[in-house]
């Protein structure tokens, strides 16, 4: 206790500046958590959170025994897995390529161009996809004009295309903005190491492999921990906007399932139970991946 008091006294300016954000997190992030108690009740809207009939883990059992459980979990893991497989390395590769550009004006232009998609809403992205990939879209017209196909392909109406379209859209939208983290990490690498590598003649690929990647290893591992920990967060807006009844078998994930039962059908307790299950699993995954990283790479977030 005395150690903590001395530390707080020593860092009091930082703690004073942090007070508004601590209060904000407590009020808007932790205080509402008491409402999760309805996951263990048959909650009736309009009544107190503590007035519902206690049902224990009945809603959790209902979800696990649901005929939709297998499909939802498959879609969630598949979409998240593809986002991790392609979405995490993509900004690293982009950052390494941007870092090698010598023309500052062209580098700034390229960076700005790669950031723009991040600030485009999914409503606009969905409109772009329908324009490009719809039955009367640009891609079908080009394929027909060049003689590759005779009839238009329903890219957005067939489930077998959904995962690849969604993954490509996610990577395109986030790659530029996420590369900022890696660019910041690359900027912190000692320039003397890079110059020494040039003197030794290791070349650009050697510099990347022996200097850049080891230099930002901690950043890479931390982002992978967070990415794997959030594997149940497969998205919401994109599935809701791009998906359709014909692709529901491939687009339905935990978040859209919670939205359907909680908001549209009014089963608040059941939706809260599913969402609470997702949150608990995500926390356990982060803790597990953190321990693995600490054991094998001596790097952790906790």
Q: Residue 145 falls within a domain, yes or no?
A: no
Taking only the tens place, the pLDDT of each residue in 49-89 is 777 788 889 999 999 999 999 999 999 999 999 999 999 89
When divided into structural domains, the chain yields a total of: 1
Q: Residue 132 falls within a domain, yes or no?
A: no
Q: Residue 24 falls within a domain, yes or no?
A: no
Q: Residue 248 falls within a domain, yes or no?
A: yes
Q: Residue 253 falls within a domain, yes or no?
A: yes
Taking only the tens place, the pLDDT of each residue in 101-148 is 888 889 889 988 999 999 999 999 999 999 999 888 889 999 998 888
Q: Quick one: pLDDT at residue 147?
A: 86
What CATH number does residue 190 fall under?
1.10.3720.10
Q: Residue 100 falls within a domain, yes or no?
A: yes
Q: Residue 129 falls within a domain, yes or no?
A: no
Model confidence at 274, pLDDT cuts 50, 70, 90, reads: very high
Cα–Cα distances in angstroms (integers) from residue 263 to residues 83, 194, 207, in the given order: 27, 55, 52
Give CA–CA dist 43/275, Å, rounded: 15
As a whole number, mean pLDDT of residues 255-283 equals 90
Q: Quick one: pLDDT at residue 51?
A: 75
User: For residues 170 and 87, is the Cβ–Cβ distance under 8 A?
Assistant: yes
The pLDDT of residue 212 is above 80: yes
Taking only the tens place, the pLDDT of each residue in 164-190 is 999 999 999 999 999 999 998 888 888
Report the 10 Å Cβ neighbour count for 234.
26
Taking only the tens place, the pLDDT of each residue in 90-107 is 999 999 999 888 888 898
Give CA–CA dist 198/107, Å, rounded: 22
Give CA–CA dist 196/258, Å, rounded: 55
Give CA–CA dist 264/44, Å, rounded: 15
The pLDDT of residue 44 is above 90: no
CB contact burial 172-197 (16+ within 10 A = b; e otherwise): bbbbbebbebbbebbeebeeeeeeeb
Q: Tell me the average pLDDT of the chain.
A: 88
Q: What is the residue range of 218's domain?
A: 43-124+166-297
Give CA–CA dist 249/219, Å, rounded: 36
Please state the separation of Cα 87 from the chain's center in Å.
9
> Which ranges of the chain does DSSP label H, i.e. alpha helix?
2-10, 12-25, 58-64, 69-87, 89-99, 104-115, 122-133, 138-145, 162-187, 191-200, 203-207, 213-215, 217-229, 237-242, 248-251, 254-259, 268-297
Q: Quick one: pLDDT at residue 1?
A: 59
Q: Residue 31 falls within a domain, yes or no?
A: no
10 Å CB burial of residue 55 (0-12, 13-18, 19+) is middle
Taking only the tens place, the pLDDT of each residue in 145-155 is 888 888 888 89
Model confidence at 302, pLDDT cuts 50, 70, 90, reads: low
Q: Quick one: pLDDT at residue 202?
A: 81
The pLDDT of residue 255 is above 80: yes
Q: Quick one: pLDDT at residue 23?
A: 93
Give CA–CA dist 101/107, Å, rounded: 6
Q: Quick one: pLDDT at residue 256?
A: 93
Give CA–CA dist 154/163, Å, rounded: 14
């Amino acid at each position: 206790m005395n150690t903590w008091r001395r530390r707080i006294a020593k860092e009091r300016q930082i703690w004073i500046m942090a007070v508004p954000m601590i209060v904000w997190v407590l009020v808007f992030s932790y205080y509402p958590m008491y409402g999760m108690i309805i996951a263990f009740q048959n909650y009736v809207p309009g009544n107190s959170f503590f007035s519902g009939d206690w049902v224990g883990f009945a809603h959790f059992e209902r979800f696990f025994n649901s005929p939709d459980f297998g499909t939802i979990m498959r879609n969630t893991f598949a979409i998240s897995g593809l986002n991790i497989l392609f979405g995490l390395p993509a900004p690293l590769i982009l950052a390494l390529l941007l870092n090698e550009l010598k023309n500052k004006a062209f580098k700034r232009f390229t960076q700005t161009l790669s950031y723009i998609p991040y600030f485009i809403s999914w409503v606009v992205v969905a409109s772009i996809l329908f324009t490009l990939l719809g039955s009367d879209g640009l891609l079908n017209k080009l394929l027909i004009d060049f003689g590759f196909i005779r009839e238009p392909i329903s890219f957005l109406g067939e489930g077998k295309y959904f995962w690849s379209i969604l993954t490509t859209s996610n990577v395109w939208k986030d790659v530029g903005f996420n590369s900022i983290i890696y660019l910041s990490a690359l900027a912190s690498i000692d320039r003397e190491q890079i110059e020494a590598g040039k003197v030794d003649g290791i070349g650009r690929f050697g510099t990347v492999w022996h200097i850049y990647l080891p230099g930002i290893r901690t950043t890479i591992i931390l982002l992978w921990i967070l990415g794997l920990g959030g594997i149940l967060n497969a998205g919401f807006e994109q599935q809701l906007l791009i998906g359709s009844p014909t692709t529901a078998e491939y687009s339905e994930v935990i978040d859209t399932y919670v939205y359907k039962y909680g908001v549209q059908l009014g089963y608040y307790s059941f939706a809260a139970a599913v969402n609470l299950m997702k949150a608990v699993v995500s926390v356990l995954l982060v803790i597990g991946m953190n321990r693995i990283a600490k054991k094998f790479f001596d790097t952790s977030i906790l």
